[in-house]
Amino acid sequence: MDKREAGVVEENGRDSGQDSKERSRGQGHLKTGSVVRNVLAAALLAASLSAAATDMRIDGSFYSFWNPTGQDIGYGFAGFVMRQPNSDVADMSTFTVGAQIGAGNAAGANQGVWGIATEAWAFPGSVSPLFGIEATTINMEPTNMLPKASFYATFKNRPDTRLEYPPVDAMNANSQALRIEAQPGTGYERGIVFGPISMHASTKLARPIAVDFSEMDEAAVEGIDVMRFPDGCSLVYLGHGVLSTRCDK
Which element (helix H / strand E) includes 36? helix 34-49
Q: Please give the Cα distance from 124 to 185 (Å, whole number).
A: 18
> Which residues have C-beta within 8 Å of that of residue 102, sequence separation ≥ 6?
115
pLDDT tens-place values along the chain, 249 residues long: 443 333 433 334 444 444 444 444 444 333 344 444 555 555 555 555 554 556 778 888 888 899 999 999 999 999 999 999 999 999 999 999 999 999 999 999 999 999 999 999 999 999 999 999 999 999 999 999 999 999 999 999 999 999 999 999 999 999 999 999 999 999 999 999 999 999 999 999 999 999 999 999 999 999 999 999 999 999 999 999 999 999 997
Query: What pTM does this model have?
Result: 0.74
Q: How many CB atoms within 10 Å of residue 228? A: 14
Which element (helix H / strand E) includes 4? helix 3-6
pLDDT at 42: 53
Q: Please give the Cα distance from 26 to 12 (Å, whole number).
A: 12
* Structural domain boundaries in the chain: 1-84, 199-249
Residue in 73, 77, 79, 76 with CA at minimum distance from that of residue 48: 79
Amino acid residing at 154: T
Which element (helix H / strand E) includes 238? strand 233-239
